[in-house]
Structure 1
Amino acid sequence: MDTSTRIFRTIAGEIAAKQDQVGAAVKLLDEGATVPFVARYRKEVTGGLDDSQLRTLADRLAYLRELEARRETVAASITEQGKMTDALAKAIVGAETKAALEDIYLPYKPKRRTKAMIARENGLAPLAEAILADRTADPEVLAAGYISDNVADVKAALDGARDIVAEGLTENATLLGELRSFLQKEAIVAAKVISGQEQAGAKFSDYFEHSEPWSKVPSHRALAMMRASKEGVITLDIGPDAEGGKERAEEMVASYLDTRSDAPGDKWLRKIAGWTWRVKLSLSMTVDLMGELRARAQEEAIAVFARNLKDLLLAAPAGAKATLGLDPGIRTGCKVAVVDATGKLLDTATIYPFQPKNDVRGAEATLMALIAKHGVELIAIGNGTASRESEKLVGEVLKLLPKGVKQPTKVVVSEAGASVYSASELAAREFPELDVSLRGAVSIARRLQDPLAELVKIEPKSIGVGQYQHDVDQHRLSKSLEAVVEDAVNAVGVDLNMASAPLLAHVSGLGPGLAEAIVAHRDANGAFGSRKELLKVARLGPVAFEQCAGFLRISEGDEPLDVSAVHPEAYDVARKIVSACGRDVRSLMGDGAALKRLRAEEFVSEKFGLPTVRDILSELEKPGRDPRPTFKTATFADGVEEISDLKPGMVLEGTVTNVAAFGAFVDVGVHQDGLVHVSQLADRFVKDPHEVVKAGDVVKVTVTEVDVPRKRIGLSMRKDGGASAKEDRNARAGFGGKGRGGPAGGGGGPRGKGPRGGGNYSAKPKQQDGGNGALGAALLDAMRKK
């Protein structure tokens, strides 16, 4: 079996596809096609692989190609040494992971001089062989015959023989594989506070005396313990269960020496097996397990971040309406910016309704004037410091508006990353004369109009909807988040004549350079009349056009199909469909009744199959449809502005700001997010919180617990109004207590052993760039933003 076939077969099994589908997709990707393009416009070629399958395919393809390259290197190295055998070649071909391959290569890998090498140089290899061959002989008696100028005494001889035997064990690929499998099932992760660090590391108190199976440690707990260990708060160990695990590991090592009797040789070899485990193998295995745990935890954390980011990017847009953005502040005042329906900046102001100026009347007058002057329809209020006070101020202003002035809708908007954008080079180029703080108000206004178009201007990591994002592999995180942004932008589509360069840069086939070139061409020559005019843009050739054209929209252009997701290459098919209805394109588009009378099969050709024809019919029925949900916003309760205003039993409306493995964080308008523990998300067992909620959802919650000093808010979405939360409290060590995490574990600790784990969390004030609220005491930094 050749390399490509082996890779395609492996990936096909992992993504539930056929081998030829994988091969076709790989060919397209290798030729430079993007995942969104292949998923949307090459369904016939790939057999309908979706973007999720294609992303997994691309990721695994890179890993497996690296594995195959390493396999060739290992085989070549062993062959050059003259040590290749049929059995060894078969083992190399059969290795399914890099770790398994390296285990096989270990005995043949060039290495520095070892104690075993020195022992062989001193003539002690025959002694080791003699002990292994004759177990009835006393090793000390055998060793006496090997004393020489380089071997001082019997002990030195036996130590040399020990080193030779131990090296053979540590380089035995089969033994290493069995030990690794044993530990993956049986190993325990144990954390213990370092004496004197109790106060400095209080936020990690759940892990001061904690242990749980390695195989069951959830991502957030693993990363929390690793951070605590890195900060010198706890010691973190991984090893066999204390109750017999170590003995079982030593027995596994000894079994490879076939020590079955009480003969002197077997007794000595059993000691060597124990020594090899304790001194050699346990350390390397612990390092491997720690690496695997870190990798597993990082993958889960990156997946959570990616899923939350996708939900945020695909949040409902409020639409093209004149919008006033208000970035709340106290001492430095509230920054105000008004943008028109296209997002163009119209006006700015700074008001001082709070301490120390308390200019409420002046602030009200300024806001009323801006609303009337610019026909403001939406007011976006950042959810940072003084958010509720600002919302209250806006509410009073709306009451004062004259009857002839249409009352705008006020919405509290997440300002996550707004401060990052404000200080960015992009913002400086966009608004060179504007104060940094006012740029934030513009961003807040625009992200209400169209979250996707504004959030793509911010580095995804700065949006801060992940857990322990700064503790994971930053390259892999960036790669994953960039893929999410690319998929989201291309799923929605981009208005070619309105989009900014940062938004265009994420369109399939473009990138920053071509995006800037498109904007420059648009500025110099005016709006694009058709997609074909893209070919006039400098450096944008046929290949880039093929990749990007279907994702770009032109409203009221020369070609009516340009407003849809129909690719220009398939316009002839679309026109045949139109002709079959006896209509022109413009009058037919949106007429679902006329289109439903057609049979898709009648328009299938050699080039365009049934999937493409069905997509064209769908697009003609709803041209340029936006896959995002209809816009709606949470209404915060009057009189509930601070955490001290909350009382158990209150039913509130809020917005989901973040979703983690242990629950969802909800903004109810009091500057700290509350936590709906996974056990309180629904009236059924919930394994993954994403099954129930996503970032941006408007939900109704019941307050179950309020801890003002520690700024902790417990919420429930269950019909019993949180009564079950009280019942669960004893089972899972109580509100904010130490609980042993179970299948849906939220917290960690040694005491509680309830089935759903301990929902540990604490709150922190919202930051100017949109910090989260309640977090686990040990998870305090999980989603911290720079």
Structure 2
Amino acid sequence: MSILKYIISQTQLPETGVKNTLKLLEDDCTIPFISRYRKELTGNLDEVQIADIVKYKEAFETLEKRKLTILKALEEQDVLTPELQKKIESTTDLITLEDIYLPYKKSRKTKAEKARQFGLEPLAKIIMSQNANDVESIAFKYVKNDVASVEDALEGARHIISEWINERTDIRNNIRYQLDRYATITTKVVKTKAEDEKAQKFRDYFDWTEALSRIPSHRLLAILRAEKEGFIRVKIAIDDDAVLAKMENRIIRSRNACADEITTAIKDAYKRLLLPALTNEALQKAKDKADESAIQVFAKNLKQLLLGSPLGEKRVLAIDPGFRTGCKIVCLDAQGDLKYNETIYPHPPKNDATGAIKKISTMVEAYKIEAIAIGNGTASRETETLIRRIHFKTDIQVFVVSEAGASIYSASKIARDEFPNYDVTVRGSVSIGRRLQDPLAELVKIDAKSIGVGQYQHDVDQSKLKGSLDLVVENCVNAVGVNVNTASTSLLSYVSGIGPKLAENIVNYRTAHGAFATRTAIKKVPRLGDKAFEQGAGFLRIKDAKNPLDDSAVHPERYDLIKRMAKDAGKSISELIGNSTILQKINLNSYCSDTIGLPTLQDIIKELEKPGLDIRQQAKVFTFNQDIKTIADVTEGQLLPGIVNNITNFGCFVDIGIKESGLIHISNLADAFVSDVSEHVSLHQQIIVKVLEVDVARKRIQLKLHK
């Protein structure tokens, strides 16, 4: 099967779109570039569909590589026949491929291999023929040298038969079918660990049984973590008697002495070889499915977080609150540059609220602060209360900002390079302030899985997780666009076609030569060639550029086309931009050609109507219930304002302004059945919740979404 047919069979996407996308990928085009600027070639495939093509392209290449390895091994063993080669080459999945290769694998010295060395394979063949009646007499002929008795001879023959049964693809596939349909996962607590304090969070799984095919992602990952930490034992089971009966029906054709030996060999093959291998395979398959589900949740949450509402270019005072160590304060200008830092001690043990208020008021006035960002960690509510007591001379907006991952950033090389003369506490405060100004620009500096907006992110396949999250970050950065004259190296590195090294070169060139005046000036950056410019130019913005198109998502390759549109309309490009009346009258069909069609032309018109428009909504002030300070203040029946701070498959967690987040279980999101939590809430959404239950001892709060 060709790569084209393989991908079409897996994705059901149109052949022309897949074929052209593969060619673009071979030409080193990126997913954002292809989905945005090559719509005619792909048939208007979006970034998710193109990512699927990339995924199955990689899967096909992995499969083909494994085929070559196996064919080479079989050639070296001199067992490769034309029929076997054809069978291998036509295989479309790795499991089937490994089943075909199984009989030829050079493994450790097995019981069957040892029996062959004792010369017992002919006896095994006689038994499998099922024609002999006096098996013991035949076996007696093989009693010699290392074979001490008739029973030893028969046992060795059975080991060989067990291996043959293990290698039968039909038998393996039938057991796989049974596992897929009927397997259960059962857990039992390790008695010596039952009272362990760390084990208590897994106590729901001390004695648990569930169908493996229906277990939710979060539950399986929790069970596997509990097993890994040694608190429980996990078993995958099916109806052994039913499976053995099916195996006997497939293999045994007579009811003589041979059948008795084969029956014993079947049981041995099943319990010693087939069941352990195939239950492990089934559990891994379930784990892969759980990983995929968890990664999808994480990716969806991360996208919502990265595309969170920015305040924009405003002067911000940011506070990393604390008790004993004080509140670390920084003043940032509209571009996020650090202008001043200070530490105040308004809370216990020093309780210098008066001095803190005076210092904050002075800083707000001195640096013309327009907004205040307060981290949502320890002492956040107390600090917010303090800030709201201050009577500022101007209208100051106050925001509570998520600190998730701020400590990771503050200790990172990126932070040390940005602020070599400041300690981690100052860097953390800067990160909080910048997150308010532009969440995307700041969060790209942090390893995505450290942001903490997923479920069991440390338990899933880390390579797949990284690939998925990197793709999300790349798509978000390019969807928003990047100001090339202010963007950090971290942000620029995610721009289509740029990468870390070119991003560093761009920043170094900008530092040495000043701001870029035009998009074409970016070509002067060392090692930034035509291909990188083609891939990245449309996503890079030049603010206040001489050519207004340089601050838009219109690709430079289409500038001449827009000049022609403006000329045909009797207007300049500047007069055309933002003029919906004229733009809507343009006959797009007259500008279609072999290289540009209606999808791209419609994108261009949409962009010209509102060039450089940020797809994100602007940040809004949110206020928690000021009477709720701790979990002890929360009571059943209360209606409280909250912010969704994490989404999982089983529900969402809500920050109601205290240390403990409440949970809205999926069943409490709506009166009707809910299949997807994200259809009802989004990350950082401001909502009203009703308190259903408060468990102070376990620090758990059950909530319901209030419509």
Please say whether Structure 1 and Structure 2 have the same fold, judged by a TM-score greater than 0.5. yes
CA shift for structure 1 position 593: 2.0
Corresponding residue for residue 295 of structure 2 = 302
Matched, 1:218 2:216: yes
Q: Distance in 2 between matches of 1:337 and 1:116?
A: 72
Q: Distance in 2 between matches of 1:212 and 1:634?
A: 42
Matched, 1:180 2:173: no
CA shift for structure 1 position 718: 4.7
The 8 Å contact of residues 198 and 233 in structure 1, kept in 2 or not, is answered as yes
CA shift for structure 1 position 213: 1.0
Corresponding residue for residue 123 of structure 1 = 119
In structure 1, what residue type is equivalent to 2:137? V
SS across alignment from 1:210: strand
Matched, 1:312 2:305: yes
Corresponding residue for residue 52 of structure 2 = 56
Q: 1:627 aligns with which of 615, 621, 642?
A: 615
The 8 Å contact of residues 633 and 698 in structure 1, kept in 2 or not, is answered as no
In structure 2, what residue type is equivalent to 1:191? T
SS across alignment from 1:471: coil
Task: Tell me which moved more, 649-658 or 628-637.
Answer: 628-637
Q: Structure 2 matches for 1:117-516, cutoff 5 A? A: 117-135=113-131, 137-200=133-196, 201-240=199-238, 245-259=239-253, 261-397=254-390, 400-401=391-392, 405-516=393-504
Corresponding residue for residue 545 of structure 2 = 557
In structure 1, what residue type is equivalent to 2:102? L
Q: Distance in 1 between matches of 2:695 and 2:224?
A: 28
Corresponding residue for residue 667 of structure 2 = 679
Q: Distance in 2 between matches of 1:555 and 1:578?
A: 22
- The superposition leaves residues 118-174 of structure 1 with CA deviations (integer Å, 9 ceiling, x where unpaired) of 323323222222222245603223312322223211101101110111111111122
Q: Distance in 2 between matches of 1:410 and 1:494?
A: 27
In structure 2, what residue type is equivalent to 1:692? H
Q: Distance in 2 between matches of 1:407 and 1:24?
A: 55
In structure 1, what residue type is equivalent to 2:287? R
SS across alignment from 2:689: strand
CA shift for structure 1 position 69: 1.8
CA shift for structure 1 position 85: 4.7
Q: Distance in 2 between matches of 1:520 and 1:121?
A: 69
Q: Distance in 2 between matches of 1:681 and 1:181?
A: 36
- Residue ranges of structure 2 left out of the alignment (5+ in a row): none
Q: Distance in 2 between matches of 1:89 and 1:256?
A: 27
In structure 2, what residue type is equivalent to 1:293? A
The 8 Å contact of residues 252 and 262 in structure 2, kept in 1 or not, is answered as no
Q: 1:67 aligns with which of 57, 63, 72?
A: 63
In structure 1, what residue type is equivalent to 2:547? E
- The superposition leaves residues 575-602 of structure 1 with CA deviations (integer Å, 9 ceiling, x where unpaired) of 2222232221122211212211112211
Matched, 1:596 2:594: no
Corresponding residue for residue 781 of structure 1 = none
- The superposition leaves residues 646-679 of structure 1 with CA deviations (integer Å, 9 ceiling, x where unpaired) of 1111112211111001000111101211101001
The 8 Å contact of residues 636 and 693 in structure 2, kept in 1 or not, is answered as yes
Q: Structure 2 matches for 1:564-575, cutoff 5 A? A: 564-575=552-563
Q: Distance in 1 between matches of 2:631 and 2:114?
A: 70
Corresponding residue for residue 28 of structure 2 = 32
- The superposition leaves residues 672-701 of structure 1 with CA deviations (integer Å, 9 ceiling, x where unpaired) of 111010011123211121121221111111
CA shift for structure 1 position 86: 5.5
CA shift for structure 1 position 80: 5.0
In structure 2, what residue type is equivalent to 1:406? T
The 8 Å contact of residues 186 and 209 in structure 2, kept in 1 or not, is answered as yes
Q: Distance in 2 between matches of 1:531 and 1:330?
A: 49
Task: Tell me which moved more, 28-37 or 377-386.
Answer: 28-37
Corresponding residue for residue 93 of structure 2 = 97
Task: Tell me which moved more, 281-290 or 308-317.
Answer: 281-290
The 8 Å contact of residues 188 and 239 in structure 1, kept in 2 or not, is answered as yes
The 8 Å contact of residues 131 and 137 in structure 1, kept in 2 or not, is answered as no
RMSD: 1.6
Q: Distance in 2 between matches of 1:700 and 1:634?
A: 12
In structure 2, what residue type is equivalent to 1:412? V
Q: Distance in 2 between matches of 1:623 and 1:62?
A: 37
Task: Tell me which moved more, 121-130 or 696-705.
Answer: 121-130
Corresponding residue for residue 581 of structure 1 = 569
Q: Distance in 2 between matches of 1:182 and 1:134?
A: 27
Inter-CA distance 152–630: structure 2 relative to 1 (3 Å threshold): same
The 8 Å contact of residues 656 and 697 in structure 1, kept in 2 or not, is answered as yes
Matched, 1:709 2:671: no
- TM-score of the aligned structures, taking structure 1 as reference length: 0.87
Q: Distance in 1 between matches of 2:134 and 2:446?
A: 73
SS across alignment from 1:312: helix
Task: Tell me which moved more, 600-609 or 445-454.
Answer: 600-609
In structure 2, what residue type is equivalent to 1:124? L
CA shift for structure 1 position 76: 4.1
- Residue ranges of structure 1 left out of the alignment (5+ in a row): 720-786
Task: Tell me which moved more, 112-121 or 546-555.
Answer: 112-121
Q: Distance in 2 between matches of 1:718 and 1:335?
A: 36
Matched, 1:12 2:12: no
Q: Distance in 1 between matches of 2:345 and 2:108?
A: 70
Q: Distance in 2 between matches of 1:45 and 1:640?
A: 56
The 8 Å contact of residues 683 and 718 in structure 1, kept in 2 or not, is answered as no
CA shift for structure 1 position 326: 0.8
Matched, 1:78 2:74: yes
In structure 2, what residue type is equivalent to 1:467? Q
CA shift for structure 1 position 237: 1.0
The 8 Å contact of residues 254 and 274 in structure 1, kept in 2 or not, is answered as no
Matched, 1:606 2:600: no
- The superposition leaves residues 75-110 of structure 1 with CA deviations (integer Å, 9 ceiling, x where unpaired) of 343355454456534432343221110001111222
Q: Distance in 2 between matches of 1:598 and 1:653?
A: 48
Q: Distance in 2 between matches of 1:592 and 1:682?
A: 41
In structure 1, what residue type is equivalent to 2:115? A
Q: Distance in 2 between matches of 1:16 and 1:641?
A: 53
In structure 2, what residue type is equivalent to 1:192? K
Task: Tell me which moved more, 122-131 or 617-626.
Answer: 122-131
CA shift for structure 1 position 633: 4.0
- TM-score of the aligned structures, taking structure 2 as reference length: 0.97
CA shift for structure 1 position 54: 1.2
Inter-CA distance 182–91: structure 2 relative to 1 (3 Å threshold): farther
- The superposition leaves residues 481-522 of structure 1 with CA deviations (integer Å, 9 ceiling, x where unpaired) of 111111110010001111111111111111121112111211
Q: 1:638 aligns with which of 609, 612, 626?
A: 626
Q: Distance in 2 between matches of 1:192 and 1:87?
A: 48
Identity over aligned pairs, percent: 45
- The superposition leaves residues 535-554 of structure 1 with CA deviations (integer Å, 9 ceiling, x where unpaired) of 11111111111111000011
Task: Tell me which moved more, 292-301 or 685-694.
Answer: 292-301
SS across alignment from 1:236: strand
Q: Distance in 2 between matches of 1:252 and 1:338?
A: 74
Q: Distance in 1 between matches of 2:294 and 2:130?
A: 54
The 8 Å contact of residues 307 and 440 in structure 2, kept in 1 or not, is answered as yes
